[in-house]
Amino acid sequence: MSSLTTFQPDIWVLLTHAPGDNDQCLALGDALDRPSAVKRIDWKAASVAEDRARIRDLLADTPEAEQSRRMIALHAPWPRIVICCGRRADRVGFWIKRQSSGFTKIVSIGRAHMPIASYDLLAAPPQFLLPERSNVVNLSLPLVRSRRTHRQPQPFTGAKAHGQIVPVPKPWFTILLGGDAKEFATSKRALMRAARRAQTAADRHGGSVVVSTSRRTPPALLAAVERALDRPHIFRWGESAGAENPYQILLEQSAVLFVTADSASMILDCCRTGTPTFVIEYPERFDLRRRWRRGLFQYFRGAVERCRDLGLDRVGDKLERSQDWLHARRILRYPRDMRRIHASVYAMGLARPVSTFDPTIMPLKRIAANDLVDVSGVRELAARCRALHTWTHRIAAE
């Protein structure tokens, strides 16, 4: 995807502070194979309230806000399509649509933060439960970028060999740690069990256990893993400004990858390499509100389907509108279930639960899933976007 054009492309990709969201937006932008411009709204915020305040300030009708928008090139001529993901990007995307008097079309990925009918196209990865709609595309996996177009970041400060960056004997049994998630009760016990399995495998096969943290990893989780291991080699995310980041090397060169259940982006990174991948599953957090939302969502969907089966289409339509009304007013939001991603990668043979890992047997490396684009649904979504782009072009010409 090229944003270094001499004109203003009519497809904009909004990038925020969230790497996983950004990768999905860029994956769709790559698949469109048309010029696009990246607009960065990637400030860091300490809280949701601070983030909302920053968005209000950016979109306000004041000279200061206009100056801020010009610094990130949020100004006319407005694009035909905006690709966005996440609450912050959605807010900015719909502001752009208002400024263009409805000319700009919104293509959003992930959770619906607005009424579903207000999106021109809404892509739903498997963890987001959304009803069937003409403007909703349900995906079998979160969108991933093709390796042919995905340029990996250059995290290394020098041309060091792999053995210098990860200076421990192979085979590597690598544990990738995410962080806390609202949906799961982060389990130190589950982490320690997985770490012991990795240590047993390393001892049996003459290798090493390597641990790599992420920006969300709390010290307590790392400490729990360390207690279960003998002399682990640990890479702490962001420990020093110039430190080499071994993430990509670990993905490709490890014998086995263990990844925590909270991070969809890390799970997919592992799956695409062909390295045997095992998900460290956490117990679901007991949350009556979340379970109530899932139960009511399934009740609504079941009732709508029964009405349609009985020929009561008008009643089914009213039930759907009621569900949308409740969602739009944040009374009954459409739910999220990360376990659906786990189920998808297990069903595709891309990963397995850590409970199935036998430390006495070295798992065979899979054929690398060089391109998960075909199975994620990004090509279908890109075709829908191109049709939307062509339709918008036709309206503009008239």
pLDDT at 356 over 80: yes
pLDDT at 326: 86
Global confidence as pTM: 0.82
Phi and psi at 81, nearest 5°, equal: -135, 135
- Decide: residue 288, CB within 10 A, 0-12 exposed, 13-18 middle, 19+ buried: exposed
Q: What is the model's pLDDT at position 203?
A: 96
What's the confidence (pLDDT) of residue 222?
94
pLDDT over 90 (residue 15) = yes
pLDDT of residue 370: 54
Q: Which two tokens stand for residue 329?
A: 């007013």
Alpha-carbon gap, residue 68 to 41, rounded angstroms: 11
Picking from 214-218, 297-301, 328-332, 339-343, which range would have the lowest pLDDT averaged per residue?
328-332
What letter does residue 124 receive in the DSSP assignment? E
pLDDT at 156: 35
CA distance 377 to 298: 24
The residue whose two tokens read 């641990």 is 211
Q: What is the mean pLDDT of the chain?
A: 86
pLDDT the model gives residue 163: 55
Tell whether the model's pLDDT for residue 204 goes beyond 50.
yes
Average pLDDT over residues 86-100: 96
Tens digits of residue pLDDT in 130-163: 888 899 999 989 988 765 544 443 333 334 445 5
Supply φ then ψ for residue 176, to 5 degrees.
-105, 120
DSSP string, 89-132: HHHHHHHHHHHTTT-SEEEEESS--S-GGG-SEEEE-TTB----
Would you say 153 and 364 are in contact if contact means Cβ atoms under 8 Å apart? no
